[in-house]
Chain A
Amino acid sequence: MLRVEKLNYDVKGRKLLKDVSLQVRKGEMVVLLGSNGAGKSTLMRLLACDQKPSSGFISLNRQPLDEYDQRTLARCRALLTQQQQVSLAFKVREIVFMGRYPHFDAVAQPQDYTIVDEVMELCGISDFSDRVYMSLSGGEQQRVQLARVLAQIWDNPDSLLLLDEPISALDMHYQQKVLAIAKALSRRGYMVVLVLHDLNFAANYADRIIMLKHGRKLFDGTPMEVLNAKNIYTVFSVEAQVEMNPKTLRPYVKLEEMTLDGQLVTNII
């Protein structure tokens, strides 16, 4: 279980996160929603222990996050970040294999190779496993990085899987597929936290949705509880109609067309 209590994080006097508390249970898939700059990525980095909070407390599986040995933590938490550049001419398979680095010292075990093959197959990248990463399209690169992150924690269902906008560059098919993979992993016991921007994906796949604004947690609950027109307007300043999808019993969000106010339009023209 992941427990977060009264988390604050400031950089140079700016408060990026204010008093955020939350919990993620084993086997739960939680989606973070919020506008740009709301603190989602910052929160993800704190949960990954990449940054230390200014104050507050995070524990993973009953152990405070800052008491973990770096290598041990690497075997039970993985974070897919938004930036995914690789500077030298590494091949796809080599990149995915790096996900197994925390699990061996000098010589990889047979199971490491098996896992790499499995996750590459799952993410649909086996066909170009010998190509150089830099030569791939953005969406392909994103799937390679996802495969690497999955390889890192593949054999430990007590892990925390953090995916920061994992489908931002993907086509429709892989958007669905990646969310389905995340969901399936949560059913195997993983704690999964994702940042998404599509409200209907969030509604369909999340067990729970947390909505952030200006570094604060405003709403936290099941999709039915928190995805309503009022909350959506509060967080995103966007008019929306929310219905219930009778097949899934989950909310379905229809966005209204946005009109620019008069002054802005004159400026454009």
Chain B
Amino acid sequence: MSVKQRIIIVVLTVSLVVVATFSLGLGAYHIPVGDVWGLLMHKIGLSNLPTEKALDDNVLFVVRMPRVLLGLLVGAALGVSGAGIQGIFRNPLADPGLIGISSGASLFAVLVIAFESLLFVGLSQLLGHYLLILGAFIGAGLTAFIVYRISLKEGRPQVTTMLLAGIAINGLAGAITGLMTYMATEQQLRTITFWMLGNLGGATWENVTAVAPFILIPMFCTLFFGKALNAFALGEMQADLLGMQTDRVKLWVVTLGTLAVGASVAVSGIIGFVGLLVPHTVRLLGGADNRYVLMASTVMGAMVLTLADVLSRTLAAPIELPIGVITALLGTPVFLYILIKEK
């Protein structure tokens, strides 16, 4: 990693901390940033709590904190797996949605919403909200697995076949999701829409702790594939000749990406553009070396999603806008700008 790349990562990390701290205070109920620090200090036992701040304390630790943490986790997951998947496909325009992860997750989530009262009554009572998360997670894993199996030729995954199979599976999942939406009741439709547009509003400490390992472990593991993904840029054959065991690398990076994205779609719905745009921007800033791209995409993904969440809470407060709408509204112009500038 070059000095410039190290500096970029440090700058991104510092900005991430600043953005996250500010975002703790912002929303329908405003807490000044000084008070946020005071409350945080109090929590770790460094200062006394003034009595009139009890409400702030409640809002901060029960509502905001899990939400901001979830945003950080989901953003990091989308950023790092986007970078990993782009490395595998040797294509800066690839993203986890491309191989069916997101659409599989949303299909299963919609199925759960539509048939919850009919088929899964027992399960629903047992698992509650977790049934939806579990469904989305299984959907993500299943579609990624099917796409991966279809792509095998003589035991070796073919990247182009994987891409085409992903597009096909996306189409199929989209059709079934559409059908479900069409048949859904008013109440179900509201849940489905809420979920398809992405939302961090469901964040609770239980959610955050449940999903954290599924995001953090794949995230840290993916960071170790930088060198292998660099060699991938030379083509799979040269990567093999450089001793990279490309089949294993593909399997791992896709599996880790599926885990992280599946988990984040499961808790926050579909949030587009982060997985595509963040690695792309990171590359424009500091170059293509994947050891840098993976790490910087993780930090920047977390930062971008935290920012988007702040906007979704404040733009039309007290109404919340779906975060997927924010990322798409902001992401599209930025992305088009980059495309035009790169021409």
Binding site for B on A (CB under 8 A): 48, 50, 70-75, 77-79, 81, 83, 85-91, 94-95, 98-99, 101-102, 106, 148, 152
Contacts and interface: CB of A to CB of B under 8 A. Distances in A.
B283 A73 contact: no
Contacts of A81: 237-238
Contacts of B283: 88-89
12 contacts: A50-B241, A74-B242, A74-B243, A77-B241, A79-B241, A85-B235, A87-B91, A90-B289, A94-B289, A95-B234, A98-B230, A102-B242
A71 B243 contact: yes
Max count, chain A CB within 10 A of own CB: residue among B241, B245, B283 = B241
The dominant DSSP class at the A interface is mixed
Contact of B233 (A74, A75, A87, A99): A87
Contacts of A73: 243
Contact of B237 (A50, A75, A78, A94): A50
A88 B242 contact: no
B241 A89 contact: no
A88 B288 contact: yes
Counting from the closest, the 6 A-B pairs by CB-CB distance are A74-B243, A87-B90, A71-B243, A88-B288, A102-B243, A89-B288
Contacts of A99: 242
B240 interface: yes
B8 to A, nearest CB: 15
B287 interface: yes
B287 A89 contact: yes
A90 B288 contact: yes
Interface in B238-274: 238, 240-245
Contact of B227 (A71, A85, A90, A101): A101
A90 B233 contact: yes
Contact of A101 (B231, B235, B289): B231
A79 B235 CA distance: 13
Contacts of B91: 87
B92 interface: yes
